[in-house]
């Protein structure tokens, strides 16, 4: 397989600035590989690093991007030539957290575009640990589309596992029409949820969720918390469902407003799983949590061991990808970041190297 002399990359020199650079190609150590990148998705997390100054483990300059698919071109011989998905978080597999089955939050984890040194997905190649790569195998979708498995789909899968989502459960997705919310909605339906209420403020995007598993939609634009709750109760009454107990809520927006809606709708013996990251603080009376006998759960990334199951759900059609992904050349990264930051993207953008 051809190995480049340099890695071409779009590097964040400081938050808010991108520069086209060439990086050294490290010799893969035992247990490492060099992956030629087919595509890298633009995630809300990248936008947080770039525009909001959310700190990265490796300080700038570094290359962002953690939602990656590609081909192995050097390193472990057993993987040479294989098409792979790189987990967004790769645990050390040696610490007590990993031994407890929570390696997705391993404190020594490697995350491209954050804690993998200067290397990230908005580049031509990336060196990564080999142990937890997900080999693609036979596929009907182009490899670049499968980049979204690395975060946009696997993170919702992990969230569903953390919520202990089971067939017949009741699910609610706040931010259901966004780049990750679309897949939370699909994952909830694929896990067998009896009802999936999709909540968002973009009517055009929200309408799409009824074709991928949502049983009801609520547009929050211009509505108070009281009005949103009334809409939800009216749906439950019409559908013969409880409105005051048992719902599993997934908050995906990473906004103060979205988290306030989630907390207001949290019912008796309910669960709230936080997927979106917000920098604002939200007020909440924790005595309510006790009185409701409810749970609030954080979730981070996805255990690499789940990736083959997530990939299978995509390849067998339970999770739709193509209608919700747009492929662009990586040279459009600046304008793509700007569109993502302003909320103008209609679909998840995957950037493909065109250096």
* pLDDT tens-digit series, residues 286-341: 999 999 999 999 999 999 999 999 999 999 999 999 999 999 999 999 999 999 99
- Average pLDDT of the segment spanning 238-253: 97
Confidence of residue 343 (pLDDT cuts 50, 70, 90): confident
Would you give the DSSP letter of residue 15? T
Share of the chain above pLDDT 90, in %: 93
Domains, the chain, in order of start with CATH, read: 6-151+302-352 (3.90.180.10), 154-298 (3.40.50.720)
Could you give the strand order of the β-sheet that contains 17-24, starting from the edge strand earlier in sequence?
17-24, 6-14, 62-63
Whether a cis peptide bond, with omega within 30° of 0, leads into 191 is no
The pLDDT, as a whole number, for residue 178 is 87
Other beta carbons within 10 Å of 97: 17
Average pLDDT, the chain: 96
Nearest to 15 by CA among 54, 43, 50: 50
Tell me the C-alpha distance between 260 and 146, whole Å.
33
CA angle, corner 31, sides to 28 and 36, nearest 5?
A: 50
Other beta carbons within 10 Å of 65: 32
**pLDDT tens, residue by residue, 109-162:** 999 999 999 999 999 999 999 999 999 999 999 999 999 999 999 999 999 999
Other beta carbons within 10 Å of 8: 17
Tell me the C-alpha distance between 196 and 189, whole Å.
7
- Average pLDDT of the segment spanning 16-28: 95
Tell me the C-alpha distance between 138 and 21, whole Å.
34
Task: Please tell me the pTM assigned to this model.
Answer: 0.95
Would you give the DSSP letter of residue 56? P
How many helices and strands in the chain, by DSSP H and E? 10, 16
Nearest to 8 by CA among 63, 60, 79: 63
The pLDDT, as a whole number, for residue 142 is 97
**Contacts by 255-259 with C-beta closer than 8 Å and gap 24+?**
255/175, 255/280, 256/280, 256/281, 256/282, 257/220, 258/174, 258/175
Checking if the pLDDT of 198 tops 90, the result is yes
Checking if the pLDDT of 278 tops 80, the result is no
- Average pLDDT of the segment spanning 88-100: 96
Checking if the pLDDT of 1 tops 90, the result is no
Share of the chain above pLDDT 70, in %: 100
Decide: residue 49, CB within 10 A, 0-12 exposed, 13-18 middle, 19+ buried: buried
Confidence of residue 176 (pLDDT cuts 50, 70, 90): very high
């Amino acid at each position: 397989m051809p190995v480049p002399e340099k890695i071409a990359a779009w590097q964040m020199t400081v938050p808010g600035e991108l520069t086209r650079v060439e990086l050294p190609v490290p010799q893969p150590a035992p247990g490492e590989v060099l992956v030629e990148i087919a595509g890298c998705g633009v995630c809300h997390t990248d936008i947080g690093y770039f525009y909001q100054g959310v700190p990265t483990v490796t300080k700038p300059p570094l290359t962002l991007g953690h939602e990656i698919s590609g081909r192995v071109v050097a390193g472990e011989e057993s993987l040479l030539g294989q098409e792979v998905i790189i987990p967004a978080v790769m645990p050390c597999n040696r610490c007590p957290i990993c031994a407890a089955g929570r390696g997705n939050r391993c404190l020594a984890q490697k995350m491209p575009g954050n804690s993998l040194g200067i290397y990230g997905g908005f580049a031509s190649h990336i060196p990564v640990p080999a142990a937890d790569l997900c080999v693609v195998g036979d596929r009907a979708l182009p490899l670049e589309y499968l980049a979204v498995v690395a975060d946009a789909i696997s993170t919702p899968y992990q969230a569903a596992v953390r919520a202990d989502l089971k067939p017949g459960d009741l699910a609610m997705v706040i931010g259901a029409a966004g780049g990750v919310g679309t897949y939370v909605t699909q994952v909830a339906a694929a896990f067998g949820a009896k009802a999936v209420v999709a909540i968002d403020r973009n009517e055009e995007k929200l309408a799409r969720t009824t074709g991928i598993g949502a049983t009801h939609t609520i547009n929050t634009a211009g509505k108070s918390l009281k009005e949103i709750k009334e809409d939800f109760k009216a749906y439950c009454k019409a559908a013969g469902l409880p409105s005051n107990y048992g719902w599993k809520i997934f908050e995906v927006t990473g906004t103060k407003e979205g988290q306030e809606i989630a907390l207001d709708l949290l019912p008796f013996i309910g669960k709230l799983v936080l997927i979106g990251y917000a920098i604002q603080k939200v007020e909440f009376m924790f005595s309510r949590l006790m009185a409701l006998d409810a749970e609030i759960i954080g979730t981070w990334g996805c255990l690499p061991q789940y990736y083959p199951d997530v990939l299978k759900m995509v390849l067998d059609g339970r999770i739709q990808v193509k209608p919700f992904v747009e492929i662009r050349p990586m040279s459009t990264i600046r304008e793509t970041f700007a569109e993502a930051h302003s909320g103008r993207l209609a679909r998840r953008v995957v950037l493909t190297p065109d250096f």
